[in-house]
Amino acid sequence: MQLSAAEVPQIEGIIKRLQDFEVIPENEIKSLCAKATELFREEPNVVPVRAPVTLVGDVHGQFHDVLELFKIGGPCPDTNYCFMGDYVDRGYYSVECVALVVAMKVRFPKRVTLTRGNHESRQ
């Protein structure tokens, strides 16, 4: 899935607003989720991850930690990231965490890998 020229600034705007602690309207989150769904449906079940890569696990809604991680590890697309799931739960900012990593995946699909943790199941 390739983003159109009009979609790139939209996704980048969502990423920037999240990084600035702004609330993203529900309709934009739904649109982001639709794009991510399209992307995930096109990806194979086993995805090669380009090295070097920064592995990230169990952020559990700790949004400030995720932002700090991008400051220390470097921004996309300069750094490859593999998020190992468990984006939600425990922290106060679960929606922001999952929205940011999904937006990063949609914007940089070859640089960001997302896996599902036990908190991202239907149970």
- Residues with catalytic annotation? 119
CA distance 68 to 30: 26
